[in-house]
Amino acid sequence: MNKPIGVIDSGVGGLTVTKQIIRQLPREDILYLGDTARCPYGSRSYEEIRKYTWEMTNYLMEKNIKMLVIACNTATSVVLNEMREKLSIPVIGVVNPGARAAIKLTQNDQIGVIGTNATINSKAYHKALKRINDNVTIEGLACPEFAGIVENGDYNKLEVFEIVKDTLAPLLKSNIDTLILGCTHYPLLSPIIQKVLGPTIQLISSGDETALEVSAILDQQNILSDSEYTSHQFYTTGDPTIFSKIASSLFQESLENVKHIKL
């Protein structure tokens, strides 16, 4: 079925998931929408997160998407269940795939989760992990500054290293062997996070596992694309220039087709 997959995030973070979807499903069309103008979502109320996520979703539904990927942990934690009930297309979030990937990798059943205030307070990862394996111990830590740092596009500065180091200090006292990057913006900081935590803690970003789930569902529902040409379109409610710059460096190719939209 040659309709696009819709991918939403509060900003550029969902591009880390999109990169994996494009890698695993090169024949699929993608419509990506980042609500950069209202990012970060992570410190907003649940009601605001719910309203904004529905606005993004309705925008893409009008463009006739065949599946929705909520490539934002914050939005997934707040509205995934409601969207699944109300929409007639498959809806995938990033929390369950991230939890599964962590369970697969941990050797000592001690898993850390970093995310926005909303994601950590919702205990979405806690519930997802415990549902699979009740023996795991979970250390949750909110990192409210990280998404904004990524959105500004200037994350290679020395002060960013200091902020990451100070924020993650509590994790260095724990025994976790696996850390879930529970915000899709954080993989862009992963070289810095890995440097701060050292090589013994494995970092998980849910993009890979989410793309696998997207692929499995398209296959099960028999709605994989059979097109020979693909189109990837990107929309942002914010400044398309900064968005293009971050996307181009992540995809390692110049991305010119970013359009500004209003919700």
Q: How many separate helices (H) and strands (E) can be counted in the chain?
A: 11, 10
Least distance in Å: CB of 219 to ligand DGL?
26
205 counts as binding ligand DGL under rule CB under 6 A: no
* Interaction of residue 147 with ligand DGL, rule CB under 6 A: yes
184 binds ligand DGL (CB under 6 A): yes
DSSP strand pairing (232-236 vs 258-260): parallel
Q: Which of 72, 114, 201, 255 is catalytic?
A: 72
Q: CA 83, CA 108: separation in Å to the nearest integer?
A: 35
Using CA atoms, how far apart are residues 184 and 106, in angstroms rounded to an integer?
20
Interface stretch with ligand DGL, choices 84-92, 115-123, 219-227, 234-242 (CB under 6 A) = 115-123
What is the closest distance, in whole angstroms, from the C-beta atom of residue 97 to ligand DGL in the complex?
12
Tokens of 59: 């925008």
In terms of CB distance, is 98 or 225 closer to ligand DGL? 98
Of 127, 105, 98, 125, nearest in space to 176 by CA? 105
* 70-109 binders of ligand DGL (CB under 6 A): 72-74
Binding segment toward ligand DGL, per CB under 6 A, in 68-76, 131-139, 189-197, 224-232: 68-76
Residue 113 as a binder of ligand DGL (CB under 6 A): the answer is: no
Q: Which of 5, 31, 128, 183 binds ligand DGL (CB under 6 A)?
A: 183
- Residue identified by tokens 């915000």 is 183
Residue 183: active-site member: yes
Q: Of residues 223-262, which lie at the interface with ligand DGL (CB under 6 A)?
A: none
Binding segment (CB under 6 A) for ligand DGL, from list 22-30, 183-191, 195-203, 215-223: 183-191
From 136, 183, 192, 214, active-site residue: 183
- DSSP character for 63? T
Q: Which helix H or strand E contains 9, and what residues bound it?
A: strand 5-9
CA–CA gap between residue 13 and residue 34 (Å, rounded): 8
Q: Which residues 6+ apart lie within 8 Å of 203 measured at CB? A: 179, 181, 190, 193, 194, 197
d(CA 104, CA 229): 35
Shortest approach of ligand DGL to residue 86 CB, angstroms? 21
Contacts with ligand DGL, 20-49, as mask; x by CB under 6 A: -------------------xxxx-------
For residues 189 and 149, the answer to whether their CB atoms sit within 8 Å is: yes
Closest to ligand DGL by CB, 183 or 225 = 183
- DSSP-assigned letter for residue 4: P
Question: Does residue 39 have an active-site annotation?
Answer: no
Whole-Å CA distances, 167 to 52, 142, 145: 28, 9, 9
Residues that bind ligand DGL (CB under 6 A): 9-10, 13, 39-42, 72-74, 115-116, 119, 147, 183-185
Catalytic residue list: 72, 183
